[in-house]
Amino acid sequence: MDTQKTPGANHPISMSAAPGRMHARYQGHVIADSDNVIILTEAGYRPVCYFPSEDVAMEFLARTDRDTHCPYKGHASYFTITMDGVITENAAWFYESPYPAMAAITGRIAFFPHDIDVYQVGGHDFDASTDTAILHTDSGTGASQAEHWPATTRNPD
């Protein structure tokens, strides 16, 4: 039987409405566009945007067999995204029947930030650059923890 825990002082979880319209962009295409996004902030993790499924281009998402369990939220199911010949497995997730304390995210879709850009329309990118930079640091093995960034400048002439 799965463990169910309630958020509290030792593991706080808060939810709030996003401050305006949010987009999720994959391979240069907006695949989610909503002014009804919930931002879930959990204990020491980066905030996650949950989009209503009706505001997501579901024709590019296919449900996978992957299932994970969070003791605070419940079982998560995953989607693979296919667009323009590019396939990204398990790039999005949702809670079909989350635990009661997380009922507000029922059926809403979240995207992994290393695959999908989530940002506020007319505002700054939502993704916290510090968290992204941490993924690219040495984990102690002598290798980057994520794929290398493409160069943003060219060699001097």
- The set of residues, in sequence order, having a beta carbon less than 8 Å from that of 109 and lying 6+ positions away, is 32, 50, 51, 52, 53, 56, 61, 79, 92, 93, 94
| Domains in the chain, number | 1
Q: Residue 109 sits in which domain range?
A: 13-125
Q: Which residue has the tokens 């984990």?
A: 139
Phi-psi category of 107—alpha, beta or left, where left has phi over 0 and alpha has psi -120 to 50? left
Residue ranges for the chain with pLDDT beneath 70: 123-157
- Residue 141 counted as domain residue: no
CA distance 67 to 2: 13
pTM over 0.85: no
* pLDDT for position 15: 97
Domain membership flag for residue 56: yes
- pLDDT given at position 156: 57
Q: Confirm if 5 and 11 have CB atoms less than 8 A apart.
A: yes
Q: What is the pLDDT of residue 44?
A: 87
In a domain, 27, yes or no: yes
Confirm whether 91 is domain-assigned.
yes
